[in-house]
Amino acid sequence: MKITSAAICLWATLICTSDASDFAALTPKIPRGTNAILLIDVDGALASPIAAANSWKGNLQKGAADRPMYLPPEADKIVVAAQLDEVRGFSRIWQAAIMGLKQPMPMSLVARAEGGYADTVNGVDVAWVPSDAYFINIDANTLGLLAPADRQAISRWADRAKSGTRETVSEYLRIAIAEATGGPQFVMAIDTADALQPHRIGARLEQSEYIKGKKLKVDELTSLMMGLQHVVLKITLTDKIGASARIDFNDKVGLGGEDAKSLVLEALETMQMELPDVEKWACSVGTTFILLEGELSNSGL
């Protein structure tokens, strides 16, 4: 049976050790062009009071149907990076995962386990797998995964790995990475600066039923949206599941909380990116940001 690249990523993290990886060491190895990143502190999540009260660790190890997260229990930290097409429905151009290893992982073993084949690209061992992905030995203690399986992209990743090049991400993604250390157990950040196009934004806003009903000015909202800089979602587990979503702009927002929340919810619905429970969250507006905060249910998580 063909396994999705996400499933392969999780399979691979089973060989991670509890002290092999940390975000600061893993994130400089993500591919060039990353504009979205997901950081998961698995150990931190499973150590939370809500995880203990609901036996999440045991359910993960047993693969129970009611587990709240599809994460490997042996993994400690997971970094997933992607390049998204932010003007065409946030479709994925590519996605990569980085994981720390206790010992080198032979590509022949990966290939055999997944029904693919081992290869050498630009002097670096890789493995192609039928779910349209490549594994790569970034270094002796770091395994990478890239989907879809672009051999040229793998070659360039291998070249940077051999030279020891540390990739650079935007300042905002670096801030998100720092916040994930010792803080929330889940951080997802998207860098949207200079990505949007005015004709697409204007057309979307013209179709908004909420804007028509409230008689908001499309040109002013288009100008605001063109200054969209960053979006970050943080989830913190204590005895409950707390979440916050912050949307940053480069100019004054100029909206009330009710309008801001309604427009965010409408945008999520339009893009089919709704997140359960968000409609119950509180919304506040700062000078240059919109902040939504609340709780998630287990199913929402």
- Between residues 59 and 134, which one has the greater pLDDT? 134
Distance CA 126, CA 151 (A): 10
Q: Are 86 and 192 in contact (CB under 8 A)?
A: yes
pLDDT at 239 > cutoff 90? yes
Q: Quick count: other Cβ atoms within 10 Å of Cβ 138? A: 21
Return the CA Rg of the chain: 21
Q: Is the dihedral of CA 177, 23, 35, 60 positive or negative?
A: negative
Q: Quick one: average pLDDT of 126-155?
A: 91
Distance CA 240, CA 235 (A): 10
pLDDT at 11 > cutoff 70? no
- Give residue 140's pLDDT: 78
pTM of the model: 0.81
Percent of residues, the chain, with pLDDT higher than 90? 46
Query: How far does Cα 8 stand from its chain's mean position?
Result: 17
pLDDT in tens, 251-292: 999 999 999 999 999 998 888 888 889 999 999 999 999 999
pLDDT at 88 > cutoff 50? yes
pLDDT at 15 > cutoff 60? no
3-state secondary structure the chain: CCCCHHHHHHHHHHHCCCCCCCHHHHHHHCCCCCCEEEEEEHHHHHCCHHHHHCCHHHHHHHCCCCCCCCCCCCCCEEEEEEEEECCCCCEEEEEEEEEECCCCCCHHHHHHHHCCEEEEECCEEEEEECCCEEEEEEECCEEEEEECCCHHHHHHHHHHHHHCCCCCCCHHHHHHHHHCCCCCCEEEEEECCCCCCHHHHHHHHHCCHHHHHHCCCHHHHHHHHHCEEEEEEEEEECCCEEEEEEEEECCCCCCCHHHHHHHHHHHHHHCCCCCCCHHHCEEEECCCEEEEEEECCCCCC
Going by C-alpha positions, the residue among 71, 40, 67 that lies closest to residue 56 is 67
One-letter amino acid at 81 equals: A
- Give residue 69's pLDDT: 56
pLDDT in tens, 39-51: 888 888 888 999 8
**Structure tokens belonging to residue 123:** 């002097």
